[in-house]
């Protein structure tokens, strides 16, 4: 068996273990550390070390071994925790991440960085434990188990093993048995929930089996006992006494404080195993590459398009009287939609995948800024498309850093303002219709309107004192805009916030800001749940059909002449209750001929984009449908006013409109008409009161 087949599994599981380690380290109370949390951190390091030794990743094995021993001193009370010691453990965890990534890319970790972190860990042990401390070897303890007798050679060369699963739930047991089936041939399996016994024939050693299995089970849930030796080693087959001795000691985990026997030796060259004929039990989960899921989603999208075409053919023909055909098409439509939703749910991951990255960032940055900050996360189980979770991390990082630097005050200033010394930063996520609402909330000083306006004027931005608060808050997203008094490694260069807005818009979302002086700031991000499928409203303009995202549509109405107001600069406003909304004639912005050009005969669709509302003039509302989103830039090029495209049931391509960009396009064309002396007659020279 080629042991490199398990590399991907090792890397994924090691990533999860490192994330778990960091989470526990950040939540540790240094004055009264939780013993179970310390044990969990130790087990994570121990499992990674075992896997690293199995695969021959020497730098990773050496670092985790030294960290593991320090953690063992800590959990046994011989090393008292302090914040700087936790910082060192976190630094070691970061180095493990770097080493893991180097091995993932097929390279070797930086040797200088390896020696630097090893020296740091060695110096910590010397200073805190004493001269006798040596983190290169395992620490000793009075509770150490008896030294094992001569272990059977079967543990080094393969053979038959009895693997006992202790107190493992049925669903977890099936997963463990499936993994055992990947390591060799399962001969028999039986037992109960308390102790389940599997007989395994494998060319791997007991140590190698343990190292792989520790990635999906706790060490105390496994017992591995060599039954007999591999046929290739007859010279050692006549050593039953050694095998009996090892049966009591070759468990999946050493006693506290004891180094795993053979755990630090380089693995022997991998041998080919017999073909796997038994897989054990059924698994409740599988690992599938994202590319395969994307391929399925694309195929389901094509199925949806085909189903729409069939419906269109049926509507255009005389077969609508055929009840069986109509029922079949309706059933196909429902099934296709259910299939689409089921496939889409595979790509959905909880927001905890995103939020879990920020406790460390907040801790480190708050310490650098001299601030006390409590991080609260809400809605961690809220699900979002995996592709979007990857892309939202960077914008959220900018927003969190901005809140810590500009928003939350120092403890002294908070105390002087009558606030608690510790600031509060909240990350929340919740579903809102077909969107997800993500908020970054701080209880800091809030935005300063006068300061923002003054900075905008100094930057040459067109501003006025009559601007609404919402418009003033949006100024922070202008390129090069920063109110920091001095440049630091945290802020002050005027980059970041404009990128935040641009990236969020590229994901089909928008960002809003709410702020109250002295009370704090809320930055709200609204995103679609996925970029692959869209609930759209079809509208007709002339002979063309366009798609509006349903999430952007507020309402629709037919404008009355008395509600239309002509403004300077060829602009028209539509009064909707107490609001005056910019009117965008879609046929003018998109150059569509043969459309209704009289506003009172058209339909106004009230839409929202980038925190503002607009009135889009269209000829007709066709209906609502789910459409498959096709990237226009990939297949053609960037088109102003358009975010993407889709294929309709009749095979035609329909453009999906970008509301905010459509308004900018309309304004640009109006300016061209004015400067070209081709301004249109105004509806009414009336200013809104």
Whether residue 405 is found in the same domain as residue 482? yes
Q: Residue 548: inside a domain, yes or no? A: yes
Average pLDDT, the chain: 79
Phi and psi dihedrals of 551, rounded to 5? -65, -20
| Range of weakest confidence among 190-199, 483-492, 532-541, 674-683 | 674-683
Whether residue 38 is found in the same domain as residue 148? no
Q: How many Cα neighbours within 13 Å face the side chain of 157?
A: 14
User: Is residue 249 over pLDDT 50?
Assistant: no
Whether residue 103 is found in the same domain as residue 183? no
The pLDDT assigned to 251 comes to 34
**The domain that contains 619 carries what CATH number?**
2.40.50.180
**Environment class of residue 369 by beta-carbon count within 10 Å: exposed (0-12), middle (13-18) or buried (19+)?**
middle
Nearest to 616 by CA among 562, 657, 654: 657
What are the tens digits of pLDDT across the range 111-152? 999 999 999 999 998 888 875 566 666 554 433 333 333 343
- Rounded distance, CA 254 to CA 249, Å? 9
Whether residue 177 is found in the same domain as residue 67? no
- Rounded distance, CA 356 to CA 363, Å? 13
- Of 495, 528, 561, the last residue of a domain is 528
- Of 238, 258, 283, the last residue of a domain is 283
**Tokens 């080919």 belong to residue:** 272
What are the tens digits of pLDDT across the range 333-374? 888 878 878 887 888 889 998 998 899 999 999 989 999 999
Q: Residue 621: inside a domain, yes or no? A: yes
> What mean pLDDT comes out for the span 45-60?
87
- pTM as predicted: 0.61
Nearest to 117 by CA among 67, 74, 55, 50: 67
What are the tens digits of pLDDT across the range 191-224? 887 888 889 888 777 777 876 776 667 777 888 8
Distances (CA, A) of 443 to 244, 364, 385, 516: 65, 19, 30, 10
Whether residue 450 is found in the same domain as residue 574? no
Contact indicator for 375, 410 with CB cutoff of 8 Å: no
Domain hosting 263: range is 142-283
Whether residue 541 is found in the same domain as residue 614? yes
Q: Residue 684: inside a domain, yes or no? A: no
The pLDDT assigned to 4 comes to 65
**The domain that contains 215 carries what CATH number?**
3.30.70.400
Whether residue 121 is found in the same domain as residue 235? no
The 10 Å Cβ neighbour count of residue 26 is 16
**pLDDT class for 484, splitting at 50, 70, 90?**
low
Whether residue 547 is found in the same domain as residue 596? yes
Whether residue 412 is found in the same domain as residue 394? yes
- Of 81, 98, 128, the last residue of a domain is 128
**pLDDT class for 492, splitting at 50, 70, 90?**
very low
Q: Residue 689: inside a domain, yes or no? A: no
- Rounded distance, CA 498 to CA 474, Å? 10
Q: Residue 133: inside a domain, yes or no? A: no
Q: Residue 106: inside a domain, yes or no? A: yes
Q: Residue 683: inside a domain, yes or no? A: no
Q: Facing residues of 160 across strands?
A: 201, 228
**The domain that contains 40 carries what CATH number?**
1.20.120.160
Whether residue 506 is found in the same domain as residue 475? yes
**The domain that contains 476 carries what CATH number?**
3.30.565.10
The token pair at 265 is 């030796």
- The distance of Cα 457 from the centroid of its chain, to the nearest Å, equals 38
Distances (CA, A) of 371 to 414, 523, 646: 10, 21, 49
Distances (CA, A) of 498 to 86, 296, 398, 474, 646: 35, 35, 10, 10, 29
Beta strands in 493-641 (DSSP E): 510-516, 520-528, 533-541, 544-549, 553-557, 564-567, 571-576, 579-585, 603-609, 612-618, 620-628
User: Is residue 493 over pLDDT 70?
Assistant: no
What are the tens digits of pLDDT across the range 428-451? 999 876 678 999 999 999 998 888
The token pair at 489 is 């490694």
Looking at the structure of the chain, the number of domains it has is: 5
Phi and psi dihedrals of 188, rounded to 5? -140, 160
What are the tens digits of pLDDT across the range 628-660? 888 777 778 888 888 888 888 777 889 999 888
Whether residue 329 is found in the same domain as residue 367? no
Whether residue 17 is found in the same domain as residue 84? yes
Contact indicator for 34, 195 with CB cutoff of 8 Å: no
Q: Residue 685: inside a domain, yes or no? A: no
- Rounded distance, CA 278 to CA 554, Å? 58
The single-letter DSSP state of residue 380 is T
């Amino acid at each position: 068996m080629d042991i490199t087949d398990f590399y991907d599994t090792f890397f994924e599981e090691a990533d999860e273990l490192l994330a778990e380690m960091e989470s526990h380290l950040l939540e540790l109370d240094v004055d009264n550390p939780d013993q179970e949390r310390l044990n969990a951190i130790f087990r994570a390091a121990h499992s990674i070390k075992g896997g690293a030794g199995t695969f021959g990743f020497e730098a990773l094995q050496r670092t985790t071994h030294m960290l593991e021993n320090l953690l063992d001193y800590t959990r046994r009370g011989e090393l008292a925790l302090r914040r700087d010691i936790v910082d060192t453990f976190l630094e070691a965890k970061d180095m493990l991440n770097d080493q893991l990534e180097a091995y993932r890319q097929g390279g070797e970790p930086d040797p200088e960085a390896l020696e630097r972190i090893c020296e740091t860990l060695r110096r910590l042990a010397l200073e805190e434990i004493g001269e006798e401390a040596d983190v290169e070897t395992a620490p000793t303890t009075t509770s150490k188990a008896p030294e094992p007798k001569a272990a059977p050679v079967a543990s080094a060369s393969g053979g038959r093993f009895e693997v006992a699963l202790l107190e493992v739930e049925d669903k977890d047991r099936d997963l463990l048995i499936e993994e055992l089936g990947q390591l060799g041939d399962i001969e028999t399996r039986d037992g109960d929930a308390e102790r389940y016994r599997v007989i395994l024939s494998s060319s791997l050693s007991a140590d190698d089996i343990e190292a792989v299995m520790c990635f999906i089970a706790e060490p105390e849930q496994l017992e591995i006992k060599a039954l007999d030796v591999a046929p290739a080693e007859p010279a050692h087959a006549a050593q039953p006494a050694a095998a009996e001795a090892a049966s009591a000691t070759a468990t999946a985990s050493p006693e506290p404080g004891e180094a795993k026997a053979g755990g630090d030796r380089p693995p022997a060259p991998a041998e080919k195993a017999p073909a796997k004929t038994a897989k054990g039990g059924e698994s409740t989960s599988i690992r599938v590459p994202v590319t395969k899921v994307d391929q399925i989603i694309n195929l389901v999208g094509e199925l949806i398009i085909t189903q729409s075409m069939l419906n269109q053919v049926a509507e255009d023909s005389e077969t609508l009287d055929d009840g069986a055909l109509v029922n079949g098409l309706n059933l196909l439509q429902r099934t296709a939609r259910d299939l689409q939703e089921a496939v889409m749910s595979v790509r959905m991951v909880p927001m905890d995948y995103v939020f879990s990255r920020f406790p460390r960032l907040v801790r480190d940055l708050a310490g650098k800024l001299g601030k006390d900050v409590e991080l609260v996360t809400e809605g961690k189980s809220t699900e979002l498309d995996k592709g979007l979770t990857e892309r939202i991390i960077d914008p959220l990082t900018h927003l969190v850093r901005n809140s810590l630097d500009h928003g939350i005050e120092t403890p002294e200033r908070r105390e002087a303002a009558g606030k608690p010394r510790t600031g509060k930063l909240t990350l929340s996520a919740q579903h809102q219709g077909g969107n997800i609402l993500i908020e970054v909330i701080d209880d800091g000083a809030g935005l300063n309107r006068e300061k923002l306006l003054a900075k905008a004027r100094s930057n040459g931005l067109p501003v006025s004192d009559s601007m609404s608060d919402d418009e003033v808050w949006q100024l922070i997203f202008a390129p090069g805009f920063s109110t920091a008094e001095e440049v630091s490694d945290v802020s002050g260069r005027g980059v970041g916030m404009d990128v935040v807005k641009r990236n969020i818009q590229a994901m089909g979302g928008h960002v809003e800001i709410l702020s109250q002086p002295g009370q704090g700031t809320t930055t709200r991000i609204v995103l679609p749940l996925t970029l692959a499928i869209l609930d759209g409203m079809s509208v007709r303009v002339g002979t063309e059909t366009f798609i509006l995202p349903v999430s952007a549509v507020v309402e629709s109405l037919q404008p009355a002449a008395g509600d239309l107001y002509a403004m300077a600069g060829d602009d028209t406003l539509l009064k909707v209750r107490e609001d005056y909304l910019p009117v965008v004639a879609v046929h003018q912005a998109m150059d569509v001929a043969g459309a209704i050009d009289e506003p009172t005969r058209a339909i106004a669709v009230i839409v929202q984009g980038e925190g503002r509302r607009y009135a889009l003039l269209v000829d007709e509302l066709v209906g609502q449908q789910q459409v498959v989103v096709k990237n226009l830039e990939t297949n053609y090029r960037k088109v102003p006013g358009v975010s993407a495209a889709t294929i309709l049931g009749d095979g035609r391509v329909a453009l999906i409109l970008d509301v905010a960009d459509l308004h900018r396009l309309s304004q640009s064309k109006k300016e061209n008409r004015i400067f070209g002396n081709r301004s249109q007659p105004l509806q009414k020279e009336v200013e809104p009161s």
